[in-house]
């Protein structure tokens, strides 16, 4: 499928993106949005004086494309019809305000569209793994420290506890069973979401999905992109780093040693107990694997993510 502009320039929508959106939101709804997308892009281009370029190839929930402002500034246009995370991500970007993350330049909350600073050269942090994994982990920790903010008095951000409730749907999905999920890991993950949240030393506004594909090189530094906006224990933030970068992390010949070292390094650099970091890693591995099944996102085998959870469950300190 292609997106046509008035200039007759044809923008090809990646086949993986078409398939993903139809898989997650249904063929009819996704196709209807794909048909509206050309006029929406034209509207945004005129409104914000953008020259649009073809979209990125590795898209998932949002249409994301590079663009150039009238003054020559390279930017990113991001929009989506469906994602209920848009308003939370937008609110988080406004609070983070460019500290540790790409700057928000323009936005329309109602139409779910935004213009962001384009990070250049834009190399993903995953490029450092596994050869420079120690450096990559240190960059992750540094971004976390820059991002975390006190929770606004009034907000609509989802909480870590609410996200953990997703796991309670697993047994209903499998008619009271656990399907391919090891019961011990599922029950431990549910318990960890509750106990770690209840014992959190502080509650902060977090990125919510900070991993190796959501940190890009910007000149001589690294910055985050695509925040979800989540409120809770800062320890929750480390969880995504224990099953990323997917799927390449699963190919690491020394995966057990790599995950154990990440626990130790993050504990030292963030000043958190190793048991808390290990716990959030395990809990998020299980939740992510379940989310892949629940949302029919099976491009990566959830068993690989559960393998990371199993490794973490065996770590002792």
Give the pLDDT score at 9: 43
Residue 223: beta bridge partners? Answer: 216
DSSP output for 222-282:
EEE-----EEE-GGGGGGGGGS-STTGGGG-TTHHHHHHHHHHHHHHHHT--HHHHHHHHH
Q: How far apart are CA 249 and CA 226, in angstroms?
A: 21
Output the CA angle 292-293-294, nearest 5 degrees: 95
| CATH number of the domain enclosing 57 | 3.30.200.20
CB 198 within 8 A of CB 171: no
Q: Which CATH number belongs to the domain containing residue 269 in this structure?
A: 3.90.1200.10
Same domain flag for 84 and 180: no
Examine the domain organization and report whether 89 and 141 are in the same domain: no
Percent of the chain predicted with pLDDT > 90:
86
Q: Do 138 and 109 share a structural domain?
A: no
pLDDT band at 4 (very low <50, low <70, confident <90, very high): very low
Residue 245 confidence class, pLDDT cut points 50, 70, 90 = very high
Q: Where is the domain boundary, 103, 118, 133?
A: 118
Instruction: Note whether 300 and 167 are same-domain residues.
Output: yes
Give the C-alpha separation, 152 to 282, whole Å. 29
The domain boundary residue, chosen from 118, 141, 171: 118
Q: 111 and 260: one domain?
A: no
Domain of 21? 2-118
| Domain shared by 225 and 269, yes or no | yes
The Cα–Cα gap between 107 and 100 comes to: 19
Chain-centre distance for alpha carbon 227: 7
128 and 255 in a single domain? The answer is yes
Per-residue b or e along 230-258, where b marks 16 or more CB atoms closer than 10 Å to that residue's CB: bbbbbbbbbbbbbbbbbeebbeeeebeeb
User: Domain total for the chain?
Assistant: 2
Q: Are both 154 and 223 inside the same structural domain?
A: yes
Q: Are residues 109 and 165 in the same domain?
A: no
Residues 303 and 228 in one domain: yes
For the cut 50, the answer to whether the pLDDT of residue 200 exceeds it is yes
Q: What is the pLDDT of residues 36-68, one digit of tens each?
A: 999 999 999 999 999 999 999 989 889 999 999
More confident residue, 100 or 85: 100
Residue 23 has a pLDDT of: 84
Give pLDDT tens digits for 224-243: 999 999 999 999 999 999 99
Closest CA to 90 of 75, 103, 99: 103
Residue 44 shares a structural domain with residue 19: yes
pTM for the full predicted model: 0.92
Q: Whole-angstrom Cα distance, residue 207 to residue 19? A: 27
Of the three residues 76, 98, 118, the one that is the final residue of a domain is 118
Residues 161 and 93 placed together within one structural domain of the fold: no
Average pLDDT, the chain: 93
């Amino acid at each position: 499928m292609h997106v046509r502009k008035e200039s007759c320039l044809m923008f090809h929508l990646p086949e993986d993106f078409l398939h993903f959106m139809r898989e997650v939101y249904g063929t009819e709804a996704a196709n209807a949005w794909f048909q509206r997308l050309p006029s929406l892009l034209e509207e945004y281009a005129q409104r914000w004086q953008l020259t649009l370029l073809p979209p990125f190839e590795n898209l998932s929930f949002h249409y994301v494309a590079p663009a150039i402002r009238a003054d020559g500034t390279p930017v990113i246009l991001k929009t989506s019809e469906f994602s209920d995370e848009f308003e939370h991500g937008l609110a988080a970007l406004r609070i983070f305000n460019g500290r540790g993350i790409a700057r928000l330049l323009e936005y329309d909350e109602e139409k779910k569209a935004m213009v962001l600073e384009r990070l250049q050269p834009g190399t993903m942090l995953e490029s450092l793994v596994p050869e420079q994994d120690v450096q990559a982990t240190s960059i992750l920790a540094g971004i976390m420290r820059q991002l975390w903010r006190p929770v606004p008095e009034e907000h609509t951000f989802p909480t870590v506890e609410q996200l953990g409730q997703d796991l309670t749907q697993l047994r209903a999905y499998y008619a009271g069973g656990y399907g391919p999920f090891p019961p011990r890991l599922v029950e431990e993950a549910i318990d960890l979401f509750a106990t770690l949240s209840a014992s959190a030393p502080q509650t902060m506004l977090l990125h919510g999905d900070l991993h190796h594909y959501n940190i890009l090189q910007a000149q001589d530094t690294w910055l985050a992109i695509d925040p979800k906006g989540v409120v809770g224990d800062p320890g929750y933030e480390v969880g995504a780093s224990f099953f990323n970068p997917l799927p390449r992390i699963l190919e690491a010949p020394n995966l057990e040693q790599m995950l154990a070292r990440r626990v130790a390094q993050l504990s030292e650099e963030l000043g958190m107990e190793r048991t808390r970091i290990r716990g959030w890693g395990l809990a998020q591995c299980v939740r992510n694997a379940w989310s892949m099944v629940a949302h029919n996102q099976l491009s990566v085998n959830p068993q690989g993510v559960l393998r990371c959870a199993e490794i973490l469950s065996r770590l002792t300190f």
